[in-house]
Amino acid sequence: TSVFVSGANGYVAQHVVKQLLAKGYSVVGSVRSVAKGDQLKATINNDKFTYEIVPSLTDKEAFGEALKKHPEVTVFLHTASPVNFSPEDIENDTIKPAIEGTVNALNAIKEHGPQIKRVVITSSGVTMWGFGPYFDESKVYNEDDWNPITYEEGLSNAWFGYFASKKYAELAANDFVAKEKPNFDLSIVHPTFVFGPQAYGIQDKSSLNHSSELINSVVKLGKDDKIPEEGSVFIDVRDVARAHLVAFESDAAIGQRLLLGAEDWTKDLIADIINRQSSKLKRLFTSMTTQELEKFLGLISNPLKILSMISLNNSIMLK
Ligand code: NDP
């Protein structure tokens, strides 16, 4: 089976690709440029991975051109969507690419991929609840709920723009299926905050994807900095990837909203975990050779990888 993954270079998508390849699927990933595609292909280093360029989610034809070249694809996973909390233009940089990207992908599948039978869209837990005025602490939220944010309210700040982008993209997908009655079944995955290691390691460690950077921002706090009061629910990125596979492999997932959450997090808790691990780190540093230490420091902007390695093995396994 061949699976199309949009936004294949993204943090979540790379784990999806990795798990697909590990299970023997062929993968066609879309990225925005040749440079990104070549870099991803080199990183993944697997003959069953190829890429296509889809430069813009708002270009009506872009996914169609990619699909025409791949009549072997029977599953389409749409993960690409802006995760940008400082856009210049909320509507054009966040909301429209999310909605139009979803509709353009579904249209392309209908027009150019009649053999595609299963489609999975990466939505978000925020389509079920919102922050600030949109969050009711006394309510137990579930998959029947919708964040009440309106399109216009989504224009008021970058966070609300993201909430609206995910909600209206999902509604547009449901609308498409109801009106067009396409040849495929749709499942939608709703992660809460996604934490965990990068799938393959990354070249540019100066700034990570948004949810990983939340962990990094705690690592970067100074000794006297106040830990920001922030928290929510999280899910491990490897479980998010697994959910994308289950979403198309299992018939029980057809037509479902799959909400993914494991435990609560706060920045205070993250700081506490880092603090607890640092005494283990001190012991490790003193037992390392200079060469091992240099290799270790190269990993340091990937704190989750380090933390998981330490907690799993109680010692660093340098590869
Ligand atoms: P990343 O930023 O790592 O990946 C986003 C992907 O979408 C990248 O491939 C990116 O391409 C592509 N993309 C973004 N904007 C555009 C655009 N305007 N046109 C074309 N491609 C675009 O984010 P994540 O991996 O964290 O997110 C993946 C999906 O998961 C998204 O749909 C997100 O909403 C959802 N999600 C993520 C959560 C999290 O905590 N990480 C929580 C809940 C949902 P490029 O690299 O070229 O910018």
Determine whether the shortest distance from the Cβ of 20 to ligand 1 is under 6 A: no
Ligand 1 center to residue 123 CA distance, Å? 10
Q: Is the pLDDT of residue 142 over 50?
A: yes
Q: Is the pLDDT of residue 234 over 50?
A: yes
Q: Closest by alpha carbon to 128, among 116, 117, 143?
A: 143
Determine whether the shortest distance from the Cβ of 10 to ligand 1 is under 6 A: yes
Determine whether the shortest distance from the Cβ of 30 to ligand 1 is under 6 A: no
Q: Closest by alpha carbon to 29, among 84, 80, 98, 71?
A: 80
Question: Whose CA is closest to atom 5 on ligand 1?
Answer: 10
Ligand 1 center to residue 276 CA distance, Å? 31
Long-range CB pairs of 67-73, under 8 A, 24+ apart, other chains included: 67/4, 67/108, 67/109, 67/112, 67/113, 67/116, 68/112, 70/2, 70/4, 70/28, 71/113, 71/115, 72/2, 72/26, 73/2, 73/3, 73/4, 73/28, 73/113, 73/115, 73/116
Determine whether the shortest distance from the Cβ of 113 to ligand 1 is under 6 A: no
Q: Is the pLDDT of residue 104 over 60?
A: yes
pLDDT tens-digit map of 289-300: 878 777 777 666
> Which CATH homologous superfamily contains domain 2-205+232-266?
NAD(P)-binding Rossmann-like Domain (3.40.50.720)
Residue 175's pLDDT band, with cuts at 50, 70 and 90, is very high
Determine whether the shortest distance from the Cβ of 9 to ligand 1 is under 6 A: yes
Ligand 1 center to residue 8 CA distance, Å? 9
Q: Is the pLDDT of residue 222 over 90?
A: no
Q: Is the pLDDT of residue 115 over 50?
A: yes
Determine whether the shortest distance from the Cβ of 74 to ligand 1 is under 6 A: no
Q: Which of 9, 83, 208 is the best mutation target for the ligand 1 pocket, counting ligand atoms within 8 Å of the beta carbon and taking the most?
A: 83
Mean pLDDT of 84-94: 95
Ligand 1 center to residue 71 CA distance, Å? 26
pLDDT value of position 54:
97
pLDDT value of position 42:
96
Ligand 1 center to residue 222 CA distance, Å? 29
pLDDT value of position 152:
97
Q: Which of 54, 78, 81, 99 is the best mutation target for the ligand 1 pocket, counting ligand atoms within 8 Å of the beta carbon and taking the most?
A: 81
Q: Is the pLDDT of residue 65 over 50?
A: yes
Q: Is the pLDDT of residue 245 over 80?
A: yes
Q: Is the pLDDT of residue 304 over 70?
A: no
pLDDT tens-digit map of 256-290: 999 999 999 999 999 998 888 777 777 777 788 87
8 A C-beta contact, residue 101 and residue 57? yes
Residue 313's pLDDT band, with cuts at 50, 70 and 90, is very low
Among 24-33, 105-114, 204-213, the least confident range: 204-213
Ramachandran bin of 24, using left for φ above 0, alpha for ψ from -120 to 50, beta for the remaining angles: left
pLDDT value of position 292:
79
Mean pLDDT of 195-224: 88
pLDDT value of position 288:
81
201: exposed, middle or buried (Cβ count in 10 Å: 0-12, 13-18, 19+): middle
pLDDT value of position 312:
45
Ligand 1 center to residue 166 CA distance, Å? 11
Residue 319's pLDDT band, with cuts at 50, 70 and 90, is very low
The values of phi and psi at residue 35, to 5°, are -60, -45
Tell me the ipTM for this assembly: 0.99
Mean pLDDT of 97-122: 98
pLDDT value of position 306:
60
pLDDT value of position 303:
58
Rounded to whole angstroms, the Cα distance separating 107 from 188 reads 17
Residue 316's pLDDT band, with cuts at 50, 70 and 90, is very low
Mean pLDDT of 100-121: 98
Report the mean per-residue pLDDT for the chain.
91
pLDDT value of position 307:
57
